[in-house]
Structure 1
Amino acid sequence: MRFYILLIGLLYLSDIPAQESSLDSKTITFYAKDSVIITADTYFLKDIPPTVLLCHQAGFSRGEYLNTAKELNALGFSCMAIDQRSGLEVNGIINQTAIDANNKLRNVGYAGAKQDVEAAIDYLYKLNGEQPIILVGSSYSASLALWIGSENLKTKAIAVFSPGEYLTGIKLKQTIKSISIPVFATSSKREIKPVEKLLSQVKPNLITQFKPKLKGYHGSKALWKKNDGHENYWNAFKDFLLKQK
């Protein structure tokens, strides 16, 4: 059952009450620095602090992770999926953050969504007892995850599905060479080489790259049960995540 929380007036993260831990998804809202309202679904297990933040691909919403989040729960991870200001809809879930950003004329594209991810990191970081969290990105948000993970001490690991040079004005390959935390990277088969190139200046000992033998899929859709080879992606992803506990 979902509970929709309306936040009235500009709130700081410290003013937002933590949600009651539950096996059920709950929809919450909080603010980015520019006052755009971020909508998120929480998948919090009882007595397990949230440690995984899930970010969607272009044209999508937090609905990208409807089933993935539940699989993560089964592994013992509490997690949260957000709407970023660049996106639309998937799996029947409309991107509410994008609607609010458009209404406020603050939808500034892929790179602008960085502040949405950072606000969500701050939110989970507080709930996690001010301990770093795992950041998961898909397509353009995978690129954001690498960028943020190269500079944000509130992240302890990054998992990226089909990252690329998607961010206008940002030379990502150069920007992320300072990454010092573990990185899980995967993609479709045809994207293997571009992902390798993108990560070529990150220390090799930090990178775990799963290279599918089948055609595979772009973004975290690779984890969806309806897609061929999802079990192989999941096995690699699970192995990485469990090492971060």
Structure 2
Amino acid sequence: MRLFTTISYCIFLLASTSSIAADSKIVTFNSSDNILISADVYSPHKSSAPMIVLYHQAGSSRGEYNEIAPRLNKLGFNCLAVDLRSGEFSRGKDNQTAMRASNAGLSTSYSDALPDIISALEYTQKNYPDSKILAWGSSYSAALVLKVAGDHAELIDGVLAFSPGEYFSHQGKSKTWIRDSAKAINIPVFITSSKKEKESWQSIFDVIPSKDKNSFIPATEGRHGSRALWEKYNDSESYWQAIKQFLLSKNRVWS
């Protein structure tokens, strides 16, 4: 009986994984230095529907979003989950971009992923010209999407940042590298994190001049990065409620 139960559970997991994979397709495009970037497209809606470009945290991959993207689809958004060159593996998916960058002898520190973030947004603009585009980051990429929102406003209509911070001083950047760019953000912004991480991004949030800036801190201790939305965590629904409130507001340009 125990063997049968184990086999049945394994079959269930394989079926679940297959259903997730069937909802997406992999695409590739070049970064500005010609490294091939891999991404999963989750696009059940018409091509003019708003598109969320999803970026993972350190040591991770586009697999970070294989549970999150389908839920965002149900809210009316298409999604592009991107492998950045600074990462490794998550939820059954190797980071293909990181492997290519490493094989080419390129640096794969957090800040080195900035061109990949920009290139993914440019790819989205080109292939979904009628869509509003939101950039969504997790940990180090959350900081980078805030930087892009300030430096390249023409690429983004909204930004969501999960556990951002000034993570780049040990890579030769200033201690206010993200904050300096955030001073120019004038699009809708949503920032969240675990409870203890709020002090890591509060100074960034404070300088954002956008009249539509929003934040959420859970009543629980919470989680770091986008994984806070994974169903296995008991407090994930509190994050989802805050996300829904931000994304589905009728006052936003993508509504």
In 1, the alpha carbon distance for the partners of 2:209 and 2:200 equals 17
- On the 8 A contact 1:55/1:82 being kept in 2, the answer is yes
* RMSD between aligned residues: 1.7
| 1:132 Cα offset (Å) | 4.2
| 1:238 Cα offset (Å) | 1.2
Partner residue in 1 for 2:214:
208
In 1, the alpha carbon distance for the partners of 2:132 and 2:104 equals 31
2:192 pairs with 1:193: no
Instruction: Letter of the 1:87 partner, please give it.
Output: G
| 1:198 Cα offset (Å) | 2.2
| 1:108 Cα offset (Å) | 3.7
- On the 8 A contact 2:98/2:108 being kept in 1, the answer is no
Q: State the TM-score, normalized to the length of structure 1.
A: 0.87
Structure 1: gaps of 5 or more residues: 1-22
- On the 8 A contact 2:163/2:191 being kept in 1, the answer is yes
Relative distance call for 1:235 and 1:48 in structure 2 (3 A) is farther
Higher Cα Rg: structure 1 or 2? 2
Instruction: Letter of the 1:237 partner, please give it.
Output: I
Partner residue in 2 for 1:163:
164
**Number of corresponding residues:** 224
Q: Which moved more, 1:24-33 or 1:47-56?
A: 47-56
Identity over the aligned pairs, expressed in percent? Answer: 40
Partner residue in 2 for 1:220:
226
Q: State the TM-score, normalized to the length of structure 2.
A: 0.84
| 1:205 Cα offset (Å) | 2.7
Structure 2: gaps of 5 or more residues: 1-21
| 1:204 Cα offset (Å) | 6.2
2:186 pairs with 1:180: yes
Q: Show the 5 A alignment for 1:7-18.
A: none
Partner residue in 1 for 2:85:
85
| 1:194 Cα offset (Å) | 2.3
- On the 8 A contact 1:25/1:43 being kept in 2, the answer is yes
Partner residue in 2 for 1:9:
none
Deviations 1:5-46 (A, max 9, x none): xxxxxxxxxxxxxxxxxx720011111011111010000114
2:155 pairs with 1:154: yes
Instruction: Letter of the 1:78 partner, please give it.
Output: N
